Amino acid sequence: MIEQQLSHLKSMLEEALSRTLESVKGISEEDAHEAPTEGEWSVCELLAHISEIQDFWSDKAILITSSDDPNITRTEVENDIRSAAVQDHSGDSIPDLLHMVRDANQNAIEKLLSISFSDLDRPGHRGEDNPITTRGVFEYLSGHIAEHARQILETRKVIESG
C-alpha cells in the first residue's frame, strides 16, 4: 500500500516529464525562442519555468514534512526568483533546457521518495483557506507540469502557423 502510493506519485511526475518532452519534439531553436504573443512565454521560457517549479514545489513538500502547517504560498521574493530563473534561462538551447527539466524531475522524485509514508498526509496551506498535504503538493506539481506541456503545444500551434 505505502509503496503503491509513492509509486503512483512518482509515476505522475514521470508522466508529466514525458508529456513535456513529447511537447517539444521537432521544434526548431528559432521557434522555441519566439513568444506567441506579447507578454506570453516562449517554449524555452516555459521549459525554464518547468525546471524551476519542480525544485520549488518539491522543496515546499519537504518543508511540510518538517514544519507544523506551513504556508507554502510563493512569497514576493520567491516570485522574483521564479521570474529571474525564467529570464536567466530564456536564451538557453532546447537540449540544455531539457537537461535541466530532466534533472529537476529526477530531483523531485528523489525528494518524494525520501518522504516517509506517514508524512504524505501532513498538512500545509496555500494562502489563508487553502489546505494542502505533502501528497497534494506532488499531485499539484504533476498537474502543473502537464498543464505547461499543453501550453507548449498551444504555443507551438501559434508560432508554427504564423
- 21 by Cβ neighbours in 10 Å (0-12 / 13-18 / 19+) ranks as middle
State the CATH class of domain 2-161: mainly alpha
Name the pLDDT band for 129 (thresholds 50, 70, 90).
confident
The mean pLDDT value of the chain amounts to 96
Grid cell, residue 72, equals: 507554502
pLDDT of residue 133: 97
Decide if 162 contacts 30 (C-beta within 8 A): no
Does pLDDT of 135 surpass 80? yes
Does pLDDT of 1 surpass 70? no
Looking at residue 143, its amino acid is G
DSSP of the chain, one letter per residue? -HHHHHHHHHHHHHHHHHHHHHHTTT--HHHHTS-SSTTSPPHHHHHHHHHHHHHHHHHHHHHHHHSSS-B-SPPHHHHHHHHHHHHHHTTS-HHHHHHHHHHHHHHHHHHHHHS-GGGTT-EEESSSS-EEEHHHHHHHHHHHHHHHHHHHHHHHHHHHH-
Could you read off the pLDDT of 96-114 as tens digits, one per residue? 999 999 999 999 999 999 9
Does pLDDT of 2 surpass 80? no
Could you read off the pLDDT of 53-108 as tens digits, one per residue? 999 999 999 999 999 999 999 999 999 999 999 999 999 999 999 999 999 999 99
pLDDT of residue 75: 96
pTM above 0.75, yes or no: yes
Give me the residue spans of the domains in the chain: 2-161
pLDDT of residue 128: 83
